Amino acid sequence: MPDESRRLDSVCVYCGSSNDADPAFIAAASQIGASFAKAGLKLIYGGGGVGLMGATARGAHAAGGRVLGIIPKFLTGREQPFDDVETVVVDNMHERKMLMFEQADAFVVLPGGIGTLEEIIELLSWRRLDLHQKPIVFHNPRGFWDPLFVLLQHTIDERLTPPSLVDCWRSVADADDITPALLSWGAETYQSGAPTSVRQLT
């Protein structure tokens, strides 16, 4: 039976940590972080204070939102944790990713590089294996993620991935539409009675 009392409470953001990113991407990240706070969503992020990562956290924090950063020790110098929010320092990348996953009810993917790609492919792989049913929303300004979607469709066309994979995410171009899309999908998930996590990953 659906649990009408439940709702999305937290969202994990995967995104780039480079300060050299397009300023429009960084501004949108801050806007999206603020929108989470205004919607009462706790931000779970990689703990760094640089690039889109830091902008998202600062946007959420400035808007009065709850923020949890999770960062491995070896990256604290490079990614410069945002000290104004709660930050957990872990031993390695695997621990960071698992804790971020466990703390989140849903995921938003902003523009990012190879690290972001690694995170989202793992997340989609877990979804493909029915390890979770948590909503995944891509922020896709200027079609940033279109090449990835083309590649994933190619694996479907070659019968290496089931067609149902394309139902595992939604793509949104406008930063203003990210949080509404997330909340709408979250409401559908809970109303359907589908669990956001169907079994333990370990």
Structural domains of the chain, with CATH: 10-192 (3.40.50.450)
Q: Is 171 helix (H, G, I), strand (E, B) or coil?
A: strand
Q: What is the pLDDT of residue 190?
A: 60
Q: Please identify which residue in the block is written with the tokens 């909340």.
A: 183
- Residue 101 three-state SS: helix
d(CA 187, CA 134): 11
| Alpha carbon of residue 38 to chain centroid | 17
What is residue 140's DSSP assignment? -
Which pLDDT value is given to residue 150?
98
Phi, psi values for residue 16, rounded to 5°: -75, 155
What predicted TM-score, i.e. pTM, was given to this entire model? 0.90
pLDDT of residue 134: 94
Q: Along the 202 residues of the chain, how does pLDDT read in single tens digits?
A: 344 445 799 999 999 999 999 999 999 999 999 999 999 999 999 999 999 999 999 999 999 999 999 999 999 988 899 889 999 999 999 999 999 999 999 999 999 999 999 999 999 999 999 999 999 999 999 999 999 999 999 999 999 999 999 999 999 999 999 999 999 988 776 655 544 444 445 4
Q: Which residues, including other chains, have CB under 8 Å from residue 70's CB and lie 6 or more apart?
A: 44, 45, 46, 47, 87, 88, 90, 96, 99, 100, 103
- Helix residue spans in 3-134 (DSSP H): 23-38, 51-62, 76-79, 93-103, 114-128
| pLDDT at residue number 7 | 77
Q: Which two tokens stand for residue 81?
A: 């944790």
Using CA atoms, how far residue 108 sits from 31, 44, 56, 75, 172, in Å, is: 13, 10, 11, 22, 10
